[in-house]
Structure 1
């Protein structure tokens, strides 16, 4: 994520965002993701926010690297024992066959549509053969800013499947939902776990 307005919102509201998911129990999607990884898996939490998912993965025995463009979010994530967190954008992801899994939960939806193929290609390269990639985004069409001025790029299932396949992924079944986010607005979302 390189949109400065979006990063500024997360810097200003990091504490509020962390309170959105105070649960000490991982989501069913995260439980399934972790269960499909090898023991002691090395995982990247890409766009980690306050580190909620990273914390659950560390507790499950994963070795977790966490990246986020927001300095305030990295401050929260780095305070979690066992999480290696650093401030970085999606473009800072490099390396080949490093990770058993990449978790991008409602993070890549802040990347521009033109940048998404490049980001997905970098993720595919960073994953070990057969590695898992979870992505969750808001469902819809076009791009726009929410009431907090965060940039969003919306995708349909067909569009996201096409992008993932072009990057070399095998796409698994989709999950759908509707939730309130930081802005308080209801939004439809889709998520999928794909294999490198």
Structure 2
């Protein structure tokens, strides 16, 4: 994600972002991801201020975090996370990670770039590596009340894109949650492997 308006929206709301509670479905899916990875190396892609990275560290995983918002990276580093400033295009590794965790981050990328990003994630995973994807459900692309850019997908679109990128889908969970902008949105959480 390199949309300046989205980065600016997050930069001024780090503390507010940290106060947004995770829905129970996401807490459970995050734990399932950590269990599936075991003690391997995880890329927290679009890591925000590092809350999920911190959880994975406490579970005994090794974590590398990547986010395009400098304020998020600074906050994560201040809390012991190996966080780096970068975008989805900086995922260039091959067979490096045991897991990639993309929790509501890829929804900030343009729809046309989604297949390319999924292919890069697939390449970056070791064979059998675990991929977690969280997205908001819907259609179209637009900005929310905080001026963040969003791309919405339907469940069939997401499942098709994952399969076309070479992933095997293991589990799909859907639900509703309240985000930073205060709206309630449908979401999908997909656990898959390379």
Please tell me the TM-score bracket, short chain as reference.
over 0.9
Is 1:123 aligned to 2:131, yes or no? no
Distance 1:69 1:141 in 2: 24
Deviations 1:42-80 (A, max 9, x none): 000000001111001001110100000000000111112
SS in 2 for 1:114: helix
SS at match of 1:161: helix
Q: 1:146 touches 1:183 (CA, 8 Å); kept in 2? A: yes
Q: Name the structure where helix makes up a greater proportion of residues.
A: 2
Residue 22 of structure 1: how far off its partner (Å): 8.6
* Structure 1 Cα separation of the partners of residues 6 and 175 of structure 2: 23
Contact 1:21 1:52 in 2 (8 A): no
In structure 2, runs of 5+ residues without a counterpart are none
Number of the residue aligned with 2:8:
8
Per the alignment, residue 137 of structure 2 pairs with: 139
SS of the residue corresponding to residue 65 of structure 2 reads strand
Deviation (angstroms), 1:20: 1.4
Count of matched residue pairs: 192
1:102: Cα distance to partner? Answer: 0.3
Match of 1:77 in 2: 76
- From 165, 169, 175, the equivalent of 2:173 is 175
TM-score of the aligned structures, taking structure 1 as reference length? 0.95
> Deviation of residue 195 (structure 1)?
0.6
Q: Equivalent residue for 1:17?
A: 17
Instruction: Specify every segment of 5 or more residues in structure 1 that has no aligned partner in the other structure, as ranges.
Output: none
Quote how far apart the aligned CAs of 1:119 are.
0.5
Q: Does 1:54 align with 2:53?
A: yes
CA distance in 2, matches of 1:21, 1:155: 23
Correspondence for 1:162 among 157, 160, 163: 160
Instruction: Provide the alpha-carbon RMSD of the alignment.
Output: 1.4
Cα shift at 1:4: 1.1
For residues 104 and 158 of structure 1, what CA distance do their matches in structure 2 show?
18
TM-score by length of 2: 0.95
Deviation (angstroms), 1:16: 1.0
2:42 pairs with 1:29 = no
Cα distance in 2 for partners of 1:49, 1:66 equals 9
Alpha-carbon distance in structure 2 between the residues aligned to 1:88 and 1:20: 23
Paired with 2:74 and 2:179, the residues of 1 have a C-alpha distance of 21
* Worse-matched range after superposition: 2-11 or 64-73: 2-11
Is residue 2:53 matched to residue 1:44? no
Distance 2:2 2:118 in 1: 16
Is 1:68 the equivalent of 2:79?
Answer: no
Secondary structure, counterpart of 1:27 in structure 2:
helix
1:124–1:167 CA contact under 8 A, matched in 2? yes
Check the 8 A contact 1:77/1:85 in 2, yes or no.
Answer: yes
